[in-house]
Chain A
Amino acid sequence: GQQLNQSPQSMFIQEGEDVSMNCTSSSIFNTWLWYKQDPGEGPVLLIALYKAGELTSNGRLTAQFGITRKDSFLNISASIPSDVGIYFCAGQLDSNYQLIWGAGTKLIIKP
């Protein structure tokens, strides 16, 4: 089946550090969605991207739709404790509109 490679799988960072994660695939996507899931909760939409090259911000979060339409990245600047959680990417395939999910990036902030 179609696959999205999300990396890293987990990140251990210090409060205040910037964070970067990405999703890549061999397939072409027409939409990228980034979600965050807190423990015991459902995923919450952070950023939606609809055009190749699009760069969108939501507070300290910035995401980009790769120009090749095969990848996307999410950056978090100046991380704070409430940023901990699991971040998921999801891309909609251009070929059949199916939504494909990454396996998640677990963000842990070191005390």
Chain B
Amino acid sequence: AQSVTQLGSHVSVSEGALVLLRCNYSSSVPPYLFWYVQYPNQGLQLLLKYTTGATLVKGINGFEAEFKKSETSFHLTKPSAHMSDAAEYFCAVSDPWGNKLVFGAGTILRVKS
């Protein structure tokens, strides 16, 4: 079975500050890892994904995440927050066959001006 834990249901940063959203996973097989963003009353948009290969993954809107197997983590970062980054972010894990995607509880990011 797979699971995801997102540390911090709410994160608040100032505009221009570093964004760090934490995600730890549990998986009995090599994981495929994803970050999604959701704006109010909308569906989910894929930010980035890790399947195999390079452990530092770059995504859209300046976000990136690093897969650390030893720490079972896949934290999402962005060097400089923008007001438009305010949204809810979900970390997710699937097995290599991609049959099921398991989500964390989500982290709401607030960006202060």
The answer to whether A and B interact is no
Measuring CB to CB, which residues of chain A are less than 8 angstroms from any residue of chain B? Answer: none
